[in-house]
Amino acid sequence: MSLDPQSGRPLYMQLADVIAAKIETGEFAPDRMIPTPGRLSEEYGIAVLTARRAMRELRERGLIFTVPGKGSYVTPA
């Protein structure tokens, strides 16, 4: 899936939806680390801050949790 900067929807929300879909399909399994904001920024051609904002959105949705110094993981089912 790619992001569409012309859609009028914020890129961070688009990215959060892409990751949420990967969690729902099992591509990102429970308790598994998801890519870092730096990796996501490279993969999707966005700013690191945009990727961080997407991660914050996913935490607020309860889909991921972050362990300081370790990374972000999919919340167990």
- Domain layout of the chain by residue ranges: 11-74
Give the long-range contacts of residues 15-21, CB within 8 A, separation 24 or more.
15/40, 15/44, 15/46, 15/50, 15/51, 15/54, 16/54, 16/55, 16/57, 16/58, 16/61, 18/44, 19/54, 19/58, 19/63, 19/64, 20/58, 20/61, 20/63
Does the structure show a pLDDT above 90 at 2?
A: no
Beta-carbon-side half-sphere exposure of residue 69 (alpha carbons within 13 Å): 0
pLDDT reported for residue 17: 98
Going by CATH, does the domain composed of 11-74 fall within 3.40.50.300? no
- Residues 13-24: tens digit of each pLDDT: 999 999 999 999
- Residues 59-71: tens digit of each pLDDT: 999 999 999 999 9
Model pTM score: 0.93
